[in-house]
A and B are shown apart, each in its own frame.
Chain A
Amino acid sequence: MLDLIWLIPALPLAGFLVLVVAGRRLGEPLAGWLATAMVAASFVVTVGVFLALLGEPEEERAATVELFTWLPAGSLEVSFGFLADPLSITMALFVTGIGALIHLYSIGYMHGDANFSKFFVYLNLFVFSMLCLVLGDNLLMTFLGWEGVGTCSYLLISFWFGNEANASAGKKAFVTNRIGDFGFMLAMFVAFGALGTLQYVTEDGGGVLQRAGELAPVTATAIAGLLFVGAIGKSAQFPLYVWLPDAMAGPTPVSALIHAATMVTSGIYLLTRVNPIIGESFDWLPTTIAWVGAGTALFAATIAVAQHDIKKVLAYSTVSQLGYMFLAVGVGAYVPAVFHMVTHAFFKALLFLGSGSVIHGMHEEQDMRRMGGLRALMPITAVTFIVGWLAISGIPPFAGFWSKDEILLYAFAENPALWVIGLVTAVLTAYYMSRQVFLVFFGRPRFAIAEGGAAADDHGASPTAAITAGAETEAAGAGSTTGHAPAHRPIHVHESPWLMTLPLVVLAGLALVGGAMQLPFNSDVHFLGDWLHPVIGLAENEAEIHVATATKVVLAIVAGVAGLAGIAVAARVYLQRRARAVEPALLEQAWRYDAAISAFVAGPGRSGFEGAAAFDGRIVDGAVDGTATVVRVVADRLRLAQSGYVRSYALGVAVGAVVLVGLFLSRASL
């Protein structure tokens, strides 16, 4: 079974190729089913490999398959190969599992879209790239997947390209990711220069991870730090997070798959993968990682409090939760980071898909101020969404409580200040998520409900969305490339079809019981920790918590109470309407950070570029044209010597002859 590792990414790749060629002919819904089947099959194979690894003794749980040599050049020998070890298979499991569920959901969500099959082309390519990223056995394979998911993200965000805003969002995502990739590329160069290889692990102990101990602290810090820069870009941390909220312009399944569950977790995966190198670097690096994570978590949480778009809240929430994971990595809590990554994938995908269901049922409405009371009208969506809400708010026994609690515990052990930030963020998380749930599902509907019959807006029309940062747009024109404007007329709200609600239910179940992966009670139930031990279990890397059990219990209770407190405050404001809502404009505009960047790019940035072009045209090229002008002017002057008068020519000849004779004579006499 282990030698079928390559099949895991091969299946979505095959799906991609088939759909590129024949997708349009297969049409809806066959193209969707094919894509889903491929990812589901990939999931099955992943489970098989997982079980095969489980069958191996703990020390031997790593297998590589080399398919072919990719870039041989001198001592650099990069191969196209895959590595199956606990970390990569864990990632592959939820990538393919959640990926399959989202593919299924998309068949329903993208119903009626003119480019239905193209959507699945991109989705399958994305899953393939993501699998290359997590299963790659060397840094360059990871980078291949890294760029691949970035490209697919670009293609999918600007899927409804008729709208300029969507197109810009896609471009912004790609470029911002690329800024982070600057770090990744340099990290690879440093690693090669220091160790002569990019391979993670090799049979004879020659891999980068195995030889991390050889690295000087400066080099290790450089590599890990540069990889961290890449992770900041990909996992949307401050200051490179600005692309994620804009990325909500893409169809909701894209937001769920790429910008919640998988692509954005690549940064965490990468840092976890190279944890031996982080272990060898200067202490200030993990500390920086932790503080960046904590800071981003808090920062994003404050913004989410004031957002009106249902997807924007979730986007900032994702940034915030990713911050938690970085915090965990920074304090050496790799297992909790992965744990939270997995549980977050469950409930965030659930929440996004749920929001997609809401949007679909509300006929493309995305502003929460125009929702309300959907509990009765969309029961399944509501229940599953509530499960996700409780999970993210950290209410036991839902999954989010256990993973978040672990992170807070480790943060406390490292630095109480970090713990405080984490706790405040937890309160805010519970608050803004409750706000969302209350606004959307509770209370009275703040929109006009059509009395039975068909909706004013065509139910069968392509579900689209028009989004810009912080405001709604009225998209002009019809056609699936632009997106319909949300109808302000009376609408008939309905529950979504089974294609969309089934994944919701499955994910809700996972969000409910997912915490069982790593229960803190005693080390026997540290399933995830034990499983990941070969990859992470280094005494110096894994933070040892010397915290008394009593403290742990207190911290857990405090975390739970924090969640409940957030919910209670939100209930008071939004449910009972007893207190006034606090949604300052500054927070709604995301502290105007993104606006500042945009202003800079459009203003001084653009002027700089134009200046360079003007320099090229006027000065550099001017020199060339100037040379030609000089030649012409000189020639003009010299022309005057050609007077046409024979006698002046004769005089010239005579004078010249005299001079020459004189020269010869003077030479001869010497």
Chain B
Amino acid sequence: MNNIGFSILSTLIVLPAVGAAAVAVVSRRRPEVARQVALLSTVLTAALAFWLVADFESGEAGFQYTEAVEWIPSLGIAWRLGVDGISLFLVALTGLLFPIAILGATPQREHKPYYAWLLLLQAGCMGVFLATDLFLFFVMFEIVLVPMYFLIGGWGYGERVYAATKFFLFTMLGSAFMLVAIIALAVLNQRAVGGDLTFELMALATNQGIGQETARLLFCGFAVAFAVKVPLFPLHTWLPDAHTQAPTAGSVILAGVMLKLGTYGFLRYCVFLFPEAADWAGPVLVTLAVIGITYGAVVAAVQKDLKRLVAYSSVAHLGFIVLGTFALTTQSVQGAVLQAVNHGISTPALFLLVGFLYERRHTREIAALKGLQKAAPVMAAVFTLVMLSSIGVPGLNGFAGEFLILIGSFLTYRWWTVVAVVGVILASVYLLWAYQRVFHGEPDGDNASIKDLTVREGLVLAPLLGLIVFLGVYPKPVLERIEPSVDTLIAHVEAGSDYTQPSVAIGGGGAAIDGAETIEPGTVTVLDDEDEGEGG
């Protein structure tokens, strides 16, 4: 399982931290060196992450590349890491987005601390996705708050201090509940099943002796923290402010990676640790998710600030992911995991484009921007592509995840899914309307003289654009690696609760339910009409 010679997962966490330290010792008078060091660190991390993806054993469900080092033995806390199908692509996404964030935006002041915070942030994000020890997970979960607070507060726009403080306090409040739940879980579990106190995820999940009521309470504790993070209606109001006031790189990471900490947490901790509670709380969470989908889109439509519009669109998109998570069918959960990655590609691209626009026009007000397609056709074309991905046009990545979520959720939450599909319609409304106001029409004044997309900006966006198309057309390799872990998770839920995944009626000698037959590319089958019966 572990073909890589060294502890790659630890390296993925430690390397950015070392990079942060390296940036910290760079002289203040050489900001470009700080940037280069940061870039080097993030590129190396990205390379390692991609190596991990390439070497990952697809078809295996459990954690791979596991590491365990004792940390606080008396409390059963250890430095435990592992990666499986659910976290693999989030790790890759984290690796990919940070160099892009660094290249795509330059800070206006104080380069050194900016890059140091960014790298520390990356270390924390990696830690969250890789931790398999509850205590370690919590530490990492909290670590990411500090750099983001400073990034928003130190390098953001007008209302940055308010936004940063709100973000920090709100998220921390949620995490406080989770901390209580974590400790309670470990302690109560030890009391119930005996043995040593442990915070190991697998042990707590598979050998759990906690009663149903308690489990539900603990589930709620975890859920509150993740609900704030995702964000789930009605705990979402920190997001528009944070996104709007954050610098471009901050928005990119916030939307691309940090929101996924919440969705990942739901899957890895809420559903895995408390399967019965997940089944029990499903209707509530799905309702909130669907409300988020429609409400986020409606509110996005009347925003005057372009960045705030994209922020609300994130609320809507993440609603889909939560819907898929708690619908608990293999299609919906796979879709949720896939969509987390897809959203993490298209929304950062949108934020980068808005950032480029801001650099040119120094405004994010939609009313101030007009007719930009005439002045900057290439930028308009790129924006169109990313916008179509966000709308969910088939053939681009946004559709693949969304469709799987919806078709899976329809099996268990039919009428909620019907409402969610309305959200799909609304997405086109607010995005096309914004596009029309900003890009269509005749440009006036400063709008007419803006520069088109530069080569450097295009290169920064290129990997994201390429993935938008590739994952839309051929998401199979990603889905192949996600599926075993998801299936195991759902089986775990079925074992721990009354829930059973609805089986889809397949007859007539078609594909079996477990593992559909693979399609041979290029085969031509001439169909014999006799079997088709009278149905033609």
Contacts and interface: CB of A to CB of B under 8 A. Distances in A.
A553 interface: no
Interface stretch (B49-57, B121-129, B206-214, B426-434): B426-434
Which of B238, B487, B524, B533 has the largest count of A CB atoms less than 10 A from its CB? B524
A539 B479 contact: no
B406 interface: yes
Contact of B524 (A65, A194, A537, A606): A65
A171 B508 contact: no
B404 A73 contact: yes
A209 B388 CA distance: 31
Contacts of A276: 535-536
Contacts of A171: 432-433, 436
B407 A192 contact: yes
B508 A73 contact: no
A498 interface: no
Nearest to B517: A77
B284 interface: no
Given A73-B408, A182-B424, A174 B439 contact: no
Contacts of A565: none
Given A75-B513, A77-B511, A195 B505 contact: yes
B302 A79 contact: no
Given A72-B476, A74-B483, A151 B441 contact: no
Contacts of A79: 519
A536 interface: yes
Given A65-B522, A189-B406, A162 B442 contact: yes
Interface stretch (A196-204, A412-420, A457-465, A516-524): A196-204
B14 interface: no
Interface in B488-517: 502-514, 516-517
A481 B476 contact: no
B504 A192 contact: yes
B180 interface: no
Interface stretch (A442-450, A499-507, A608-616): A608-616
A59 B421 contact: no
Nearest to B482: A73
B60 to A, nearest CB: 17
A331 B383 CA distance: 45
Interface in A40-72: 56, 58-72
Interface in B129-154: none
Interface string B277-299: 00000000000000000010011
Contact of B535 (A70, A209, A620): A209
Given A62-B526, A70-B474, A621-B237, A77 B516 contact: yes
Contact of A182 (B425, B516, B525): B425
B411 A193 contact: yes
B505 to A, nearest CB: 5
A379 interface: no
Contacts of A70: 473-476
Contact of B529 (A61, A144, A167): A61
Contacts of A151: 388, 393
Contacts, number: 279
Interface in B401-450: 403-404, 406-408, 410-411, 417-418, 421-422, 424-425, 428-429, 432-433, 436, 439-442
A572 interface: no
Contacts of B503: 75
A336 interface: no
B479 A73 contact: yes
A185 B511 contact: no
Interface in A76-91: 76-77, 79-81
A205 B524 contact: no
A188 B436 contact: no
A606 B433 contact: no
Contacts of A71: 400, 403-404, 475-476, 479
Given A74-B483, A620-B237, A162 B529 contact: no
Nearest to A148: B395
B441 A535 contact: no
A481 B509 CA distance: 56
Interface in A293-324: none
A620 B509 CA distance: 53
B534 interface: yes
A204 B509 contact: yes
B421 A182 contact: yes
B408 to A, nearest CB: 7
Interface in B150-206: 166, 169-170
B310 to A, nearest CB: 15
A659 interface: no
A206 B507 contact: yes
B335 interface: yes
Interface stretch (A99-107, A210-218, A544-552, A554-562): A210-218
Contacts of B514: 75
Given A60-B526, A193-B504, A205 B531 contact: yes
Interface stretch (B31-39, B248-256, B326-334): B326-334
Given A148-B393, A197-B506, A481-B442, A624 B527 contact: no
B298 A2 contact: no
Contacts of A207: 508, 532
Contact of A62 (B301, B303, B439, B529): B529
Contacts of A482: 442
Interface string A153-195: 0110010011110111001001100110110011011101111
Contacts of B403: 71, 140, 185
Given A65-B523, A74-B330, A162-B374, A148 B394 contact: yes
Interface of B: 166, 169-170, 233-234, 236-238, 295, 298-299, 301-303, 329-331, 334-335, 371, 373-374, 384, 388, 393-395, 399-400, 403-404, 406-408, 410-411, 417-418, 421-422, 424-425, 428-429, 432-433, 436, 439-442, 473-476, 479-480, 483, 487, 502-514, 516-536
25 contacts: A65-B524, A69-B476, A72-B480, A73-B331, A74-B516, A79-B519, A147-B394, A148-B394, A151-B388, A161-B441, A162-B440, A162-B441, A163-B441, A167-B440, A175-B425, A189-B417, A195-B506, A201-B532, A203-B525, A276-B535, A276-B536, A616-B295, A616-B299, A620-B233, A624-B237
4 shortest interchain CB distances as A-B pairs: A206-B510, A196-B506, A167-B440, A74-B330
